[in-house]
Amino acid sequence: MIDILCREVPRTQEKLPILGFGCMRFVEKNGSIDEERSKALLRYAIDKGITHLDTAWIYHHGQSESFLGRALADGYREKVTISTKLPHWLVKSREDMDFFLNTQLNRLNTNYIDYYLIHSIGRESWDRMKACGVLEFLDTAKADGRIKHTGFSFHEDTKTFKEIVDAYPWDCCLIQYNIIDEFSQAGREGLTYAAQKGLAVFIMEPLRGGKLARSPPGEIAHIWEQAPVKRTMAEWALRWLWDQPEITMVLSGMNDFAQVDENCRTAETAYPGSLTAEEQSVIRRVSDTWHSLMKVPCTGCQYCMPCPFGVNIPSCFEMYNNLFMFGDTWRTNAVYAARLGGVMSGYSVASACVGCGACLSACPQGIHIPERLKEVSDRLEGPFFQVLVLGAKIALPIMRRFAFLKNSKWMNC
């Protein structure tokens, strides 16, 4: 085991490694996790000191939790902490929450989950979950020992994020945050707020799904080449995060041994405040250049929200911009449909805009929001969009029923 730095969870004083293992990007073979290779990689990472694993009900099409349950045999479960997540979009009642948690305990082959998060909660889903009794569920599950600590993951606006932080004595939260998303979603403001409230802040998408570690556009590559210190793009991005003391842990979806080795080396010396002013300037120039490639100059400030017709304006622009910054068309369309199309949360797509203009005077960037939302709708809500949304909505009850049958089989063994 190497000396990966640790930081403290404010409310529990538990020390966690600053580098965690995100379990949604394992190498696959024939449509399933390549268990032999992934098990070897996971245990290698644990032996090197990456002792927090983050998974969820839906990762790898529902395979991730069960794979971890098998991979953590032979004493490895005792070496790690695990976080997984309640799939709120499948929950219809208070009883469903116990069903999913108990199924996850079976899948993970464990008696308890260290950090249990509500997955990708937002305004509409938070109100619905409260009405279903989620707070009582969390209290009960902590009291009976099935979960140790509570949290939530989040992809919406800063205002909603703060309200959820204040609604329950959470131990942690998980937010998307990187050199591009500093002011998107919960953003730096949300990060600071949660830390001040005593939550451990875990970071997902530190490399934007690996995109920030790939060959960048020429103007960005030139800035990195002129930097005073030579580092990989992944190291720059991780060091920028770990430079901020409010961040407890960064999750990385590593899928080869070289990535584990590189990230571990970085995590040995990534102290808060260790970047120089010149290094910070380089990262700022890179971030500004990435933003200059955006189709819509939205900063995610949320001044346009809430939309009286339910459009999630910043998220619409964020996903539209992703097409032009990274060209990841299929994934962007799928995420847009799931997050904004009424599958995982409320219906908040660009086409819901009626052109009322309520947002126009609020935008400090002077964006003609209704016109740009029409562009988003034309690009991301093509002729197959409703088919994609409908297919997801049909698939979710089937997945839930399949999980129920598997769980019943386990219970009868």
Distance, CA of 256 to CA of 37 (rounded, Å):
9
3-class SS string, 315-341: HHHHHHHHHHHHCCHHHHHHHHHHHHE
b/e burial code for range 284-293 (CB count within 10 A of at least 16 → b)? ebbbeebbee
- What pLDDT does residue 178 have? 96
Query: What are the residues facing 21 on neighbouring strands?
Result: 53, 252
Q: pTM score, two decimals?
A: 0.82
- What pLDDT does residue 399 have? 58
Confidence of residue 1 (pLDDT cuts 50, 70, 90): low
Confidence of residue 182 (pLDDT cuts 50, 70, 90): very high
Q: Taking the domains of the chain in order of start, what are their residue ranges?
A: 6-288, 295-413
- What pLDDT does residue 3 have? 85
- What pLDDT does residue 135 have? 98
Distance, CA of 359 to CA of 392 (rounded, Å):
31
Percentage of the chain exceeding pLDDT 70: 94
Sign for the CA dihedral angle at 11, 94, 66, 251 comes to negative
Confidence of residue 325 (pLDDT cuts 50, 70, 90): confident
For residues 120-142, average pLDDT? 96
DSSP string, 48-61: TT--EEE--TTGGG
Q: What angle do CA 120, 126, 132 make, to 5 degrees?
A: 120
In this predicted model, which residue has the larger pLDDT, 347 or 87? Answer: 87
Q: What is the pLDDT of residues 271-295, one digit of tens each?
A: 999 999 999 999 999 999 998 888 8
- What pLDDT does residue 402 have? 60
- pLDDT > 90? residue 214: no
Q: What is the pLDDT of residues 261-274, one digit of tens each?
A: 999 999 999 999 99
In this predicted model, which residue has the larger pLDDT, 401 or 21? Answer: 21
Q: What angle do CA 312, 314, 319 make, to 5 degrees?
A: 95
- pLDDT > 90? residue 239: yes
Distance, CA of 9 to CA of 6 (rounded, Å):
10
Confidence of residue 75 (pLDDT cuts 50, 70, 90): very high
Residues 6 or more apart in contact with residue 123 via CB below 8 angstroms: 156, 157, 160, 345, 346
- pLDDT > 80? residue 403: no
CATH architecture of structural domain 6-288: Alpha-Beta Barrel (3.20)
For residues 85-111, average pLDDT? 97
Of 25-39, 163-177, 354-368, which gets the smallest average pLDDT? 354-368
Characterize the bridge pairing of strands 28-29 and 32-33: antiparallel
Q: What is the pLDDT of residues 376-398, one digit of tens each?
A: 999 988 777 877 777 767 776 66
